[in-house]
Chain A
């Protein structure tokens, strides 16, 4: 089945053959993979998807991979968890957590985009992959490059959390720590990508890479029994994920796979210390004003988000909104999710939980409608954020009487 028409500029519509390019030569707009939906309709069905593997590749027909999958065969199809305790705590009827903190193999949704990008890098004959990253992407590119026996260059801001540096170095990439912010690293990588013939997953491979995020949206709908939720709250850094979840839902609608009308509203969640997309939404303007990030949510710390304009448009088109979370609220969000659902997410997940809570409390999201909260990364990668907040309650000698005494003390404290 011939499913792709090459690439197409999202702004001016100009067409390009399938190639590792990401920007329209004429208007500088982003290039997107162009699918032949007419050929896919009737071929991609609920049954054909259900017959696929328990991974993101059950949606391979809707992803820009033409040959065999090269790496990341087990990525995706993560749990959609009914969060009953969190719902009770927030006074809501129906909350779900789409939990990519347990995505195989590097514990974030970045495995989805990287599996596509590295597979395409192999298709196009590249021997080196690269990326600019705040950590999760670094982990994933290094891991999948190792699996695909490709060389990798990973560029990170030098002040990244130690856990994310170690979880990159373990796969033996060439790690380049840049003294600057993520935005500076990213700008540098744009220039490097122009000079060296490498597969930069989030630069020249961006049209393919970003499509991988759609699988997160497909899974939400399939796991809800081909029902679309009323509200989806999504963490925003570069702004790509929220636009691709929305695109995924609309593709399923185009293919006739969704029952009933599409009434989903998309919400952007960002940190107060780096929230240029949510600021656009609150000010209702399509002009992005870049910021200098200052937040503990380092994986969301992009002050100049590439897809900020489209993220804003997604919330507007779907009738959604956005919310900021302070560093204190982010930590509270992480603790709230852990305490109610037993899920330990990284700071980005804390942002999303906190923003969802605020949107519910403000009445923007009604308490009696279905809500999906997107958790995209794992808390064990960013323990620094909680270091000062948590302590061991009971320290005793190995004797029963010491424990009896400690227990009595604890009970008297809480009484």
Chain B
């Protein structure tokens, strides 16, 4: 199912400069696989060697942090919007 994925600046070198791309998946984990298929190299930038989301990356599905959902098992449906956001920001 197609979902819209927002790509942060540091990853756009891998997406040919595209800030937004379409992907097809039923879970966040599946989404990462589809992103890798479309843009090789993306997966290792998102996940560490053990398959966990890297410490300094947060993923949001429809504005909700996936750590408040089912992390990588979070289900996706048609028309969902996914944001990949560097974790380092903010301070009161």
Contacts and interface: CB of A to CB of B under 8 A. Distances in A.
B89 A190 contact: yes
Interface string A280-310: 0000000001101000000110101111010
Nearest to B68: A290
A28 B67 CA distance: 18
Contacts of B8: 23, 190, 194
B73 interface: no
B75 to A, nearest CB: 20
Nearest to B9: A194
Given A191-B83, A194-B9, A238 B90 contact: yes
B43 to A, nearest CB: 14
Contacts of A194: 8-9, 19
B13 interface: yes
Contacts, number: 107
Interface residues on B, range: 20 to 34
Interface in B1-22: 6, 8-10, 13, 19
B56 to A, nearest CB: 4
B87 A306 contact: yes
Contacts of B10: 23-26, 28
A11 B60 contact: no
Contact of B57 (A28, A110, A238): A28
Interface residues of A, number: 50
B54 A28 contact: yes
B91 A29 contact: no
Interface in B53-73: 54-58, 60, 63, 65, 67-68
A304 B58 contact: yes
B85 interface: yes
Interface stretch (A179-187, A355-363, A394-402): A179-187
A187 B56 contact: no
B88 A240 contact: no
A133 interface: yes
B92 A238 contact: yes
Contact of A302 (B9, B13, B56, B90): B90
A203 interface: yes
Contacts of B79: none
Contacts of A202: 89-92
Contact of B63 (A24, A136, A187): A187
Given A134-B92, A137-B92, A202-B89, A290 B65 contact: yes
23 contacts: A25-B10, A26-B10, A27-B54, A27-B56, A28-B56, A28-B88, A29-B88, A110-B92, A132-B90, A180-B63, A186-B90, A191-B83, A193-B89, A202-B92, A203-B90, A206-B89, A206-B91, A209-B91, A238-B91, A238-B92, A304-B58, A306-B90, A306-B91
Given A28-B87, A206-B88, A305-B90, 12 more contacts: A24-B10, A27-B54, A136-B92, A182-B92, A183-B65, A189-B90, A194-B8, A195-B19, A238-B91, A292-B68, A299-B92, A306-B88
Interface of A: 11, 22-30, 110, 113, 132-137, 180, 182-184, 186-187, 189-191, 193-195, 200, 202-203, 206, 209-210, 237-238, 240, 289-290, 292, 299-300, 302, 304-307, 309
